[in-house]
Structure 1
Amino acid sequence: MEKAKTVAIGIQDFEELRKGGYFYIDKTSFIKEWWESGDSVTLVTRPRRFGKTLNMSMLDYFFSADHAGRGDLFAGLSIWEEEKYRKLQGTYPVISLSFALVKETNFEYTKMQIYQILTDLYNGHRYLLEGDFLSDNDKEFFRSVGSRMPEYVATMAIHKMSEFLCRYYGKKVIILLDEYDTPMQEAYVYGYWDELVSFTRSLFNSAFKTNPYMERAVMTGITRVSKESIFSDLNNLEVVTVTSDKYATAFGFTEEEVFASLDEYGYSDRKEEVKQWYDGFTFGEHRDIYNPWSVLNFLGKGKIAPYWANTSSNQLAGKLIRQGSRRIKTNFEKLLKGESIKCPIDEQIVYNQLDRSEGAIWSLLLASGYLKVLNDEEKKQAGEKTKYELCLTNGEVKDMFYDIVRGWFDESDGAYNDFVEALLKGDRKAMNVYMNEVALNTFSYFDTGKRVSREEPERFYHGFVLGLIVDLQDGYVVTSNRESGLGKYDVMIEPKDKENDAAFLLEFKVHDPDEEESLEDTVKAAHAQIEGKQYEAALVAKGIPAGHIRKYGFAFEGKKVLIG
């Protein structure tokens, strides 16, 4: 029996992967599907670590005249079965760029990074300066490309290189731009969005729209940044998102491919475990797409772990949920408990709306791979955005979000854990001590950071509830803002062992000086609401005796909390 190939982790260069004889699942059918589509400019969005960079490298090695005669890299793969494509290999000038490493905290550094990428492109083609092939003006422009070039030179650099290569080879160029939106995400996080959008719009317009020297182009990224932001002039753009049927199996592994690999590596008995953790991505109508990064790591190590979730910062996802409104947090509560939500989705991500648009947040989480479409979209009414039923993608993503929620309380981790312990024991004095420490350290962290708002206690306590869900998941069911009795309670903690463990009702109130003289009065008002609205009715209906239900009012005044 032939020995299984070595699983090499992190190789993104197609030649290195093929020459090394490493494990590879054939995705060369993407070359044929893309080429025969005839599309001028294609943008493919997929979550990180889904083979975008490897596929772009594959396109480069297949089409680029720099790799002419390298049919050996494709021998035995599906694309090499047709004579037509064997003759096509290595016959086009190709410009291949990546913005994957452009991760800076301000616009000037970002621009410097992009300038360096363009400078490297020109340095790689300095042979064009030899002889009289270029005019004196062309050579002057060529030599002006560098770290200190004017912005107008930078925005025209790809366009002009396309012209030079087209004239040299007598053939229009193919442009490949990988991870085009990485600088966009950094610009949103660090607050230089408008500056970068202006620069990028000019760069993309000259490269992809007003470029008669371009044959075709492919861009990849995680998100489809809104057309109004940077693609306003690109009416020749074919966008392929996670809800598109096009190229559905070209990025990521199908279940058939994963199960065949598990058989090959002796893990046939672990298929269901792998499916639970790494399956769940849905591209168009094609379900059961697996996360390739995690599958490769599992094949190499034989151990279930959150490989994909740990590959890069999940800072943006955590920030959007942590600072989100009550509705965002209560929806996220449902997701953490394995339930689904129905939300409006607009796949054109408008980053500067993320602070105020719930739909934009869920759209970003879907594009990033944290959520999956559970069912087909609902038919929308005239004027309404499309709604999808969404849930967490798989076990790995759920584990990642558990860690994010726990991280919210890092600064007061000991106090938070002590509070939970005091709550379960019914030690009200200790609860007050520890809760005030937690609130002091984390209140502002849950707010938007722009100003201390009246919503701050609400943001805090809903984040706090998510922490309870994560920490009490083994022995309790935690819910919030649900109907019970004559109204909606704030938090209900229901024991799974109804005979031996107590249940809890928590009501949160912000001190209103017009209504209450002291925090003690606010606590009494919270208790009056619990009793008056008969919140315990849902617990009693489930067979929990009234004597086993503990009721607490939480009164907030600034960062001070009183529990009674």
Structure 2
Amino acid sequence: MDRPLPIGIEDFKKLRENNFYYVDKSLLIKELLDNRSEVSLFMRPRRFGKTLSLSMLRYYFEQVPVSDTNTDNNNLFKGLKIMEAGEKYTKHKGRYPVVNLSLKSAKQPDWNMAYDAMVNEIAKEFERHDDVLESARLLPDEKELFCRIRGKKAARIDYAMAMEFLTRCLKKVYRRNVIILLDEYDVPLENAYFNGFYKQMTDFIRSFFESALKTNSSLEFAVITGCLRITKESIFTGLNNPEMISILNVNYAEHFGFTQPEVEQLLEAYGISNKKDEVRRWYDGYVFGKTEVYNPWSVLNYTKTAAVDKNAFPKPYWANTSSNSIVRELVERADGSVRQEMEALIEGEVIEKPVHEEITYDEVYKSEENLWNFLFFTGYLKKKGERFDGETVYLELAIPNTEVKLIYRNTIMDWFQERIKKTDFSALYQAVLGKNAAVMEKELSGNLMETISFYDYKEDYYHGFLGGLLKMMDGYIIKSNRESGLGRSDLLLLSAPYEGKAIIIEIKIADTYAELGAKAKEALTQIEDRQYDAELKLEGYHTFILYGIAFYKKLCRVAVKE
């Protein structure tokens, strides 16, 4: 396959004219026309094709000005499924004026910059439609206001009403109602919340939306996209029953993300069908309505890499497109019950939570329940099952795939490392140097209770945990799994060579609490039997402390050679 993959390509025309590989999602057009909702709000996780879909809608529905003799969008849809849907749908092609606006540029550090960014986007859309200024159907004062908005010289109220004004102008000129496409509507709200100007942004967005979407006689229909459903801010209050389409809805489910047949066809086209199982483990697992879908961003990136290097390993592409701050927030706020739930998720189990679709950004961090819901609706958890109890819907939630699991693991590791730097471990360090097994057990078990396991309580987890605690021990350097004698000791703590002191630690995992003592002694015996101190003696170390440490879940037992 010599067709390039459309990684980062969000303009449908550019994708089609340059022969990029395209997973045909054109039947979204058919479903929109069948449903005929005046305002449709699609909520999907980031990087699931929302922007490209809106771009497709623009090029399908938009009427090209008569004066533009160089533009022909008909060929963009040649061979796509929508062209086989029948005249009922194709008659709408190229029929409407379209207002197409993205709000993602409003992700700015303060209100003034965010407002200026939105003004800039509005002005660009006005400039795109400045052919209407040639029409005698617009009054002089309308043309004057149009030019002020386009020139970024209008008043704030004019920009708050700009989308409605533009649709009015377009309808007067083209004599047809207007389609509005709004992308990333919630980006300004999320950003404003984190940067302290939430109310200013909410007030502006509310006016901006209400003027264009509420009782607008120039509106044919509107399609809005974002990640999260936000209704309590009253942004959509008064609109004529907007259709809210979240990942729980059955309709439109297959139009965002790649389905199993689409992924198989893609992998076959690039000669990597043998990677099917690997791709499924890493990037599948999302459930929209009742349809299982893959993360399209990650699948495309991995396909591009694996098509060139057949031995390429999968990696977390989607994880690196955001700060993942919501996962970090949950980890930092976690009490004992939340830590247990996170461990259960990482081990592949499910947790049950009531679903709350109407979360506002200023409510997300008020409770763990809201955080879990935010994680679900933004793609960090998937639905495994559901039940209805009284007035509440409960969802069984799980981590979708390996890629997302790594987000949790890496976030927990980063949090743990930062926590270590802020914690006083002097009692533990004194116990280690003083051969005080009882105090070591108390300190280690206490800290285990405060951590979140991400290795199913395997030896790797305890190895990293113990190494993380001991690496801050003053006067000693820590070495892990160093070759020594007849094998490897798990951890070594070495003083400066001229002091000649070494602490050798071997770790064992017990299957039950009752086995802890025996496993700790087994670890200590192993150090001696396998002569883990042999090479150290050759290097001049002469004073040794030997520890066998056994773990069972969040408890431990320490054996020390007296």
* 1:109 correspondence with 2:113: yes
Taking the TM superposition and a 5 Å limit, the aligned residue runs for 1:6-405 are: 6-66=4-64, 69-81=72-84, 82-130=86-134, 132-145=136-149, 146-287=151-292, 289-302=293-306, 303=312, 304-375=314-385, 377-382=386-391, 385-405=392-412
* Separation in 2, partners of 1:335, 1:470: 11
Q: Which amino acid aligns with 2:250?
A: D
2:532 is aligned to none
CA-CA distance at 1:313 after TM superposition? 2.1
SS of structure 2 residue aligned to 1:76: coil
Structure 2 unaligned regions, length at least 5: 66-70, 307-311, 464-487, 491-509, 522-548, 555-562
Distance change >3 Å, CA 323–CA 476, structure 1 → 2:
closer
Give the deviation of 1:233 after TM superposition: 2.0
Distance 1:540 1:431 in 2: 16
SS at match of 1:230: coil
Opposite residue 540 of structure 1, the aligned amino acid is: Y
Offset from partner CA, 1:466-524 (integer Å, 9 cap, x none): 2x54596454589xxxxxxxxxxxxxxxxxxxxx999xxxxxxxxxxxxxxxxxxxxxx
User: Which of 533, 540, 554 is equivalent to 2:513?
Assistant: 540
d(CA) in 2 for partners of 1:33, 1:175: 17
d(CA) in 2 for partners of 1:172 and 1:96? 14
Counterpart CA distance in 1 for 2:197 and 2:431 is 46
* Partner Cα separation in structure 1 for residue 430 and residue 286 of structure 2: 39
1:407 aligns with 2:414: yes
Q: Supply the distance in 1 between the matched residues of 2:431 and 2:291 (Cα, whole angstroms).
A: 46
- Contact 1:540–1:546 (Cα < 8 Å) also in 2: no
Q: C-alpha displacement at 1:413, in angstroms?
A: 7.0
Write out per-residue CA displacement over residues 434-474 of structure 1, whole angstroms, 9 at most, x where no aligned residue.
x99xxxxxxxxxxxxxxxxxxxxx9x986x512x5459645
**Which residue is 1:465 aligned to?**
451
Instruction: Output the CA distance in 1 between the equivalents of 2:422 and 2:454.
Output: 17
- Which shows bigger deviation, 355-364 or 385-394? 355-364
- Following the alignment from structure 2 to structure 1, what is the Cα–Cα distance between the partners of residues 78 and 176? 26
Residue deviations 1:122-172 (CA, integer Å, cap 9, x gap): 222222223533213212322332545332211110000000000110000
What displacement does 1:23 show?
Answer: 1.1
Work out whether residues 455 and 461 of structure 2, in 8 Å CA contact, stay in contact via their aligned partners in 1.
no
The structure-2 alpha-carbon separation of the partners of 1:355 and 1:181, relative to structure 1 and needing over 3 Å to count, comes to same
- SS of alignment partner, residue 321 of structure 2: coil
Change (3 A) 1:188 1:542: farther
| Identity of matched residues, % | 36
2:474 counterpart residue number? none
State the distance in 2 between where 1:10 and 1:368 align.
20
Q: Residue 424 and residue 21 in structure 1: after superposition, are their counterparts in 2 closer, same or farther (change >3 A)?
A: farther
Query: Displacement, 1:323?
Result: 3.0
Q: Secondary structure at the match of 1:90?
A: coil
C-alpha distance in 2 between matches for 1:278 and 1:342? 23
Gap regions ≥5 residues in structure 1: 437-457, 479-499, 503-536, 555-564
Would you say the 8 A contact 1:423–1:431 is kept in 2?
no
Aligned residues: 466
Mean Cα deviation higher: 277-286 or 226-235 = 226-235
Letter in 2 for 1:290: Y
Per the alignment, do residues 58 and 538 of structure 1 end up closer, same or farther by CA in structure 2, a change over 3 Å counting?
same
Cα contact 2:330–2:368 (8 A) shared by 1: no
Choose 112-121 or 240-249, whichever is displaced more: 112-121
Give how far 1:120 is off.
1.4
Return the letter of the residue paired with 1:337.
Answer: E
AA in 2 matched with 1:74: F
- TM score, norm. by length of structure 2: 0.75
- Give the root-mean-square deviation of aligned CA atoms: 3.6
Q: Distance in 2 between matches of 1:540 and 1:306?
A: 36
Q: Which TM-score applies when normalising by structure 1?
A: 0.75
Q: Distance in 2 between matches of 1:4 and 1:243?
A: 37
Q: Alpha-carbon deviation of 1:102?
A: 1.8
- C-alpha distance 540-78 of structure 1, shift in aligned 2 (>3 A): same
- CA deviations over 1:10-31 (Å, ceiling 9, x no partner): 1111111111111111110111
Decide whether aligned partners of structure 1 residues 240 and 424 sit closer, same or farther in structure 2, where only a CA change above 3 A counts: farther
| In 2: Cα distance, 1:543 partner to 1:323 partner | 31
Report the equivalent of 2:498. Answer: none
